Amino acid sequence: MRILSNETPEKVGKEVELSGWVDARRDHGKLIFVDLRDRTGTIQLVFNAKDEVTYKVAEALRPEWVIKVEGKVGERPAGMRNDDLPTGTVEIGVAKIEVLSQAETLPFDISGDGYEINEEIRMKYRYLDLRRRRMRRNILLRHKTSQFVRNYLTAEGFVEIETPILTKSTPEGARDFIVPSRLQQGKFYALPQSPQQYKQLLMVAGFEKYFQIARTFRDEDPRADRAYGEFTQLDMEMSFVTQEDILSITENLFTKLVKEIFPEKHITKAPWPRIPHKEAIEKYGTDKPDLRVDKGDPNELAFSWTIDFPLFTEQSEKDFFHGSGSAKFAPSHHMFTAPHPDDIPLLDSDPTRVRGLQHDLVLNGFEVGGGSVRIHQPKIQEKVFELIGFNKIQKDQFAHMLEAFTYGVPPHGGIAPGLDRFIMVVLGEPSIREVIAFPATSGGSVAVMDAPSEVDNKQLDELGLALKKKTK
Ligand code: ASP
């Protein structure tokens, strides 16, 4: 039965079977050394010229061939040990070898970090790029992070619930991706910019504590920390909570997560500083200040909250929120964010001075999440719709929310930290593409598969669509 390379140190003197990739080969005359790589690391194989059959195969081995070997685990001679390797005290004297598959020379080197390699080529051959140790580590830490979140929130009474991907637009300030409907020609789904409305409806449904490691879609122009396309966020919503509760649950979750999954990291300050928006702008010139004490320290994590945002931002006609053309105000966060209770009278007299119960989660100068306490009074929701210039048709699109809120809605609120973004910042990676297995390239194509692609006329016909003119 196959064992893994990291099990070999406990198997000295035993016959074992191992499989994996040829990481490197070194010829030393009568001996050939091969580093065999599997998902746990590498182990040194030794081929002796006295065994002509195996030696001959070893001579032909090339990097990245897939092999299976049998042999005995031996202690390495003193002086030949490698203390930097978990398996550095042992080696396998190979008695039998089988080549399972050969490999062409890879299009790039996978032994290093790979930052210097052209990103398009890395993406085209992402399945090879993912073989490099750094990428493997990133993906594994991401897995551990999601796993921790699931376990932690479940223990806290949260329920993981999936929400539709083929759905209707919930404006979050970005452009929607749309998908044409075949069954209802001329109509389109929007991919969710977030599960915002569904999670609020789950509160009306009485679940009280919801989370989802949710995929969200935003057709934004690519930026370094915001790859175009799809993102993963830890979407959460809770009923009967105050803003204080939301902040403290989030703070506990991330504090414990860092301790468990990233023990080498330290958090600059606890409890996390809470900075009113106005103060942040005045003092730091940004609403996402980098509060690290030593910016050269890769292990420092400075979390903070930015709170007391103005509920609205003023805007000129041309950049009007969601394209309706005329209103002076756009929501700072989104249109379901509750006004500060003390400021409700200002909705009529001076909307610019209304503070929203919004909270942004900031880490080392990056906004890694945002959320809010929500409006749960239909009257206030309608007032906000009015202020952001919703006409009747637009209001009707959210009629289901207003109706739902007439059947007994608990006060509720939530947050959605971006998982890609969080892991990028914690690992000090320059882009979220470094922590996503198959990200879109900065040009908007999806790695390996070369999406988007053209469709044939038959498919367009079925959808009742025709292309205006062919775009390349
Ligand atoms: N829906 C918001 C977002 O995706 C998060 C929230 O308000 O909970 O940014």
| Residues 33-46 pLDDT 10s | 999 999 999 999 99
Q: Percentage of the chain with pLDDT > 70?
A: 95
Atom of ligand 1 nearest to the CA of 374: 7
| Structure-token pair, residue 344 | 């409700």
Q: Decide: 163 and 214 in contact? Cβ < 8 Å.
A: yes
The predicted model gives 227-254 an average pLDDT of 94
Identify the band that residue 325 occupies on the pLDDT scale cut at 50, 70 and 90: very low
**DSSP class of 383:** H
**For residue 89, what pLDDT is reported?**
96
For ligand 1, atom 7: residue with the closest CA: 371
172 lines ligand 1 (CB under 6 A): yes
Establish whether 81 is an annotated binding residue: no
Question: How many Cβ atoms are within 10 Å of 291's Cβ, its own excluded?
Answer: 20
Atom of ligand 1 nearest to the CA of 336: 7
Q: Which of 302, 311, 372, 298 is nearest to 339 (CA)?
A: 311
234 lines ligand 1 (CB under 6 A): no
348 Cα–ligand 1 center, Å:
26
Q: Decide: 336 and 374 in contact? Cβ < 8 Å.
A: yes
Residue among 170, 193, 194, 202 whose CB has most ligand 1 atoms within 8 A, to mutate = 194
Q: Tens digit of pLDDT for each residue in 104-119?
A: 999 999 999 999 999 9
The predicted model gives 4-17 an average pLDDT of 98
Q: Where in the chain is the domain with CATH 2.40.50.140?
A: 5-101
238 lines ligand 1 (CB under 6 A): no
Establish whether 15 is an annotated binding residue: no
192 lines ligand 1 (CB under 6 A): no
Q: Tens digit of pLDDT for each residue in 370-413?
A: 999 999 999 999 999 999 888 888 888 889 999 999 999 999 99
Establish whether 218 is an annotated binding residue: yes
Superfamily of domain 124-309+356-376+411-449: Bira Bifunctional Protein; Domain 2 (3.30.930.10)
Radius of gyration of the chain (CA): 28
Q: Decide: 243 and 414 in contact? Cβ < 8 Å.
A: no
| Structure-token pair, residue 16 | 């074992």
**For residue 305, what pLDDT is reported?**
98
Q: Where in the chain is the domain with CATH 3.30.930.10?
A: 124-309+356-376+411-449
Identify the band that residue 329 occupies on the pLDDT scale cut at 50, 70 and 90: confident
**For residue 227, what pLDDT is reported?**
53
Q: Convert 206-231 to b/e letters by CB count within 10 Å (16 or more is b).
A: ebbbbbbbbbbbbeeeeeebbbbbbb
Q: Tens digit of pLDDT for each residue in 128-183?
A: 999 999 999 999 999 999 999 999 999 999 999 999 999 987 767 788 999 999 99
Alpha helices in 262-377 (DSSP H): 277-284, 346-349
Q: Percentage of the chain with pLDDT > 90?
A: 83
Pairing mode of beta strands 31-38, 15-28: antiparallel
Question: Can you name the CATH fold of 5-101?
Answer: OB fold (Dihydrolipoamide Acetyltransferase, E2P) (2.40.50)
- Those residues whose C-beta lies under 8 Å from the C-beta of residue 86, and which sit 6 or more positions away, are 6, 9, 41
Place of tokens 């830890």: 234
Q: Is 232 helix (H, G, I), strand (E, B) or coil?
A: strand
- Distance from C-alpha of 313 to C-alpha of 241, rounded to nearest angstrom: 26
Place of tokens 């990028």: 424
